[in-house]
Amino acid sequence: HEHRWGYLTALKICAICKTSVAKPSRSILIKILCKGTVPNTEPVQWGRKQDRKALAAYMEVSHAKHDLLEESKCGLFISSVAPHVSAFADVIVLYMLWAWCVGNDFVSWTPVDTYIKRIFCDAKFVLVMVPNCMLSLVM
């Protein structure tokens, strides 16, 4: 739950952007600021136990295609083309020294299903993708 909190907050980015700065929505603030407890349902427990196993399987398949890979925790990704869309990835897989591998894999496990998308990202910073697909650092 703690690991996914940023991801869950990113899912609410549209509501956050639409709320008034002068008089912000109280319910949105409560949902973001009050983390609550880890859900104790059987599916959540099962999913948390499978995270490392799923990543290991993904890396095994990826290593069959590429020699030099590196996995790293990932930071917030925001698109300036569609600022209401954002995401926190669980992991980013970096392809090193492979000029023909454009981009990196964005690996995200959600409560509903699994997505693997092509993006550019950095684990230490918040990056914004601008219309020409270049990245801009937001500090």
State pLDDT tens for residues 17-68: 777 778 877 777 666 656 555 566 787 677 778 777 877 787 787 777 766 6
pLDDT tens, position by position, 103-129? 444 444 443 333 333 444 444 444 444
CA–CA separation, 23 and 37 (whole Å): 27
Which pair of tokens denotes residue 26?
Answer: 């109280």
Q: Which residue has the higher pLDDT, 108 or 74?
A: 74
So what's the pLDDT on residue 137?
Answer: 42
- 108 in Cβ contact with 131 (< 8 Å): no
The confidence score (pLDDT) of residue 31 equals 64
Predicted confidence at residue 134, as pLDDT, reads 44
Percent over 70 (pLDDT), the chain: 24
Name the strands in the sheet holding 86-88, side by side, starting at the edge strand that comes first in the sequence: 86-88, 76-79, 126-129, 135-138
Cα(130)–Cα(82) distance, integer angstroms: 9
- Supply the mean pLDDT for the chain: 58
Count of beta carbons in the 10 Å neighbourhood of residue 25? 13
Residues 6 or more apart whose CB falls under 8 angstroms from that of 111 comprise: 43, 44, 47
Residue boundaries of the structural domains of the chain = 5-138
